[in-house]
A and B are shown apart, each in its own frame.
Chain A
Amino acid sequence: MEQHMTSRRRLIIGGALGSAAALAGNVAQAATNAKPKFDKVYDIIVVGSGFAGLAAALEARLGGAEVLLIEKMPAFGGNSAINGGAFSVAGSPLQKKFGIEDSTDRMLADMIKSGRGLSHVDLLKMVVEGSLPAYEFTLRHGVKYKDFVQHFGGHSVPRTLQTVESTGGGITRPLTESCRKHGVELHLHAKMEDFVRAEDGRVIGLTVRERYQFPKEDSGVLQTYGARKGVIMATGGFSRNLWFRRQQDPSLDERLDSTNHPGATGEGLLKMFAIGGAPVQVDQIQLGPWCSPDERGFGLVSQFNTIAGFPMGIMVDVRTGKRFCNELADRKERTDAILGLMEDGKPVYPVCFTDSKGVEKAQTLKNGLKYGVIKAFDTIEDLAKAYGIPADALVEQVKRFNAMVADKNDTEFHRALDLAIQLDKPPFYACRVWPKVHYCMGGVGITAKAEVYSVEGKVIPGLYAAGEVTGGTHGASRLGGCAIADGLVMGRVAADNCLKMKPVAL
């Protein structure tokens, strides 16, 4: 994270800001008073092309601004393009169609509970109340969803919609095309190098490495871009930054894979810290409980478990053949339970399975079987044998579970059994499970208008942030389906407020 000081950039040295910069490891020094020379000037520059960045760029452009969106990777979409495409919306038309009673208050309560008291409720309210308008926004830009609502862990009712492709690419692709169509200037291979600030500390632009090649940090050609109204940071999390995540939690070492794309390294966040952006809950890092040790990254099992294994099946400890947690609890609860299955310092991978009825909507089943990360069995006994599970105990567990489904009452772990089915129709489909580093709840502090807070408790003028790069919204544990809501809602909020900024003459 070496910082390049150039005479073209001015940096304000204040007491606290200077201290913050020093703490960030940068040597701050006064630059000349010369006005920066911009290679090009826009109204708004958006950094990052995931849900938050695309929503911000599109909203800003439709609001009349000249917009540049830069993406350091060779593809648009970031983690958003590879996630499961699951979007939690309170009060969607599909919920109404299925007679599901829901409200923003209920969604808010679920998210507060999941956050374990650490959530910033003003930010949560924005996300919850903005989820339906954001859903409508995606429909206007061509996004298509499946015709059923899903029940994700930690939610009190089914409220999660999913793209027909079972991936966030089902949202990022249409939004990228809409950006192109409406005249947003889109640059791939373009990495933000640093902020350009006015004498009063306002962010007025960026230096950017054009034609950058990840991960060659000295590649590309430096250009300086002006932003009359502001810069919106939508650079995502840092799950792939091994050194920084270990600083927050030493157990997140190289033995833990991540679901993220390789570019989720957090430089945008660190740049904001370097100019005094306020760190918020940076150590709150979420693992995805539905991953498999038998494949890399997000893989195929994640979607299988989310849509089939966890809501319609059970997950068991292979040593006992017994369940050990509520398979629909929130991610932190499930992850902690799974990580508890260690023996002599080594993971004892649990097995999650369901039957042929449970897999009807599992889109990744076919490929999961093809690549061997999901396996099919004709009997529970065969399944037990394959994974070294005591067969009698497993058969008994399935009987108990089936009885609880009939009674609609999980007396073992109090799981909501609305969507659960009795496991009685072969073949049975199973996979091994182990968590992976998935989402950084912490990040830079923002106001409910998506303005970036400085460590002095004031906003840094001209600087906005949205999505996973921000901290505070999700507290200690993000609910599944809420990252899309957060990114889309706060991306649009950032754009709306940036549009209101009085432009600087550049």
Chain B
Amino acid sequence: MIRNAFAALGATALALTLGAVSLSASASAPTVKPYHKALTDCAACHTQENAVAGNPFVVPSDKACLACHGSYKDLAKKTENLPEPNPHASHHYGEGIACTACHKEHEPSKVYCNECHEFSYKIK
């Protein structure tokens, strides 16, 4: 179930065409998760809308994640039958937690809940 649930999440990832200028990856590009390799445009996540002082290469906004993966409610629905509490519908944070609190693109992902709990989530 865990594997299937997260596979479903991965399967929803789609290439996204933005109005922003395409930013091509350089030879020293940071590592990208396997399920995002199809996204050749850095601006899929590093949107101009989220740029700070003109710099788009900052922590992405949830808007970029949710544009492909659906709303918080959709995600919570997909993970509601996990054997652990639903990571996308936390009693503590609800929708007030960034996707990037747990899901890291250029480094290992880390379950924020497990700062305090010992849940056995598998996170890619």
Contacts and interface: CB of A to CB of B under 8 A. Distances in A.
Interface stretch (A10-18, A267-275, A290-298, A351-359): A290-298
A125 interface: no
Interface string B36-67: 00000000000000101101001100000000
A74 B101 contact: yes
B58 A81 contact: no
A449 interface: no
27 contacts: A39-B53, A49-B96, A73-B101, A74-B98, A75-B92, A75-B96, A75-B98, A75-B112, A76-B93, A166-B91, A169-B90, A170-B91, A173-B91, A173-B93, A173-B96, A176-B94, A177-B94, A188-B98, A189-B59, A189-B100, A210-B52, A211-B50, A213-B59, A221-B58, A296-B115, A298-B116, A299-B116
B52 A223 contact: yes
B44 to A, nearest CB: 17
Nearest to A168: B92
A165 B91 CA distance: 7
A167 B91 contact: yes
Chain A, interface residues (CB within 8 Å), range: 35 or more
Contacts of B98: 74-75, 188-189
Residue with the greatest number of chain A CB neighbours at <10 A, chosen from B52, B55, B92, B94:
B92
A330 B11 CA distance: 53
Interface in B67-110: 90-98, 100-101
A74 B112 contact: yes
A211 B93 contact: no
Nearest to A179: B96
B76 to A, nearest CB: 13
- Interface majority SS (helix, strand, loop, mixed), chain B: loop
A262 B53 CA distance: 29
A188 to B, nearest CB: 5
B118 to A, nearest CB: 6
Contacts of B90: 169
Interface string A138-175: 00000000000000000000000000011111101100
B59 A76 contact: no
B52 A211 contact: yes
Interface pairs A-B: 4 shortest CB-CB: A211-B58, A74-B101, A169-B92, A75-B97
Contacts of B52: 210-211, 220-221, 223
A77 interface: yes
Interface of A: 39, 49, 73-77, 81-82, 165-170, 172-173, 176-177, 188-189, 210-213, 220-221, 223, 261-262, 295-299, 371
B64 to A, nearest CB: 12
A221 B53 contact: yes
Chain B, interface residues (CB within 8 Å), range: 20 to 34
Contacts of B92: 75, 77, 81-82, 167-169, 172-173
Given A75-B97, A189-B98, A297 B55 contact: no
B53 A296 contact: no
A77 B96 contact: yes
Contacts of B100: 74, 189
B57 to A, nearest CB: 9
A76 B53 contact: no
Contact of A210 (B58, B112, B115, B117): B58
A83 B90 CA distance: 14
A374 to B, nearest CB: 13
Contacts of B59: 189, 211-213
B119 to A, nearest CB: 9
Nearest to B91: A165
B94 to A, nearest CB: 4
A164 to B, nearest CB: 9
B58 A75 contact: no
Contacts of B96: 49, 75-77, 81, 172-173, 176-177
A74 B97 contact: yes
A75 B103 CA distance: 13
A455 B63 CA distance: 45
B93 A81 contact: yes
Contacts of B58: 210-211, 220-221
A169 B112 contact: no
Residue with the greatest number of chain A CB neighbours at <10 A, chosen from B55, B112, B117:
B117
A39 B55 CA distance: 14
A298 B117 CA distance: 9
A342 to B, nearest CB: 26
A336 B71 CA distance: 48
Contacts of A296: 115-116, 118
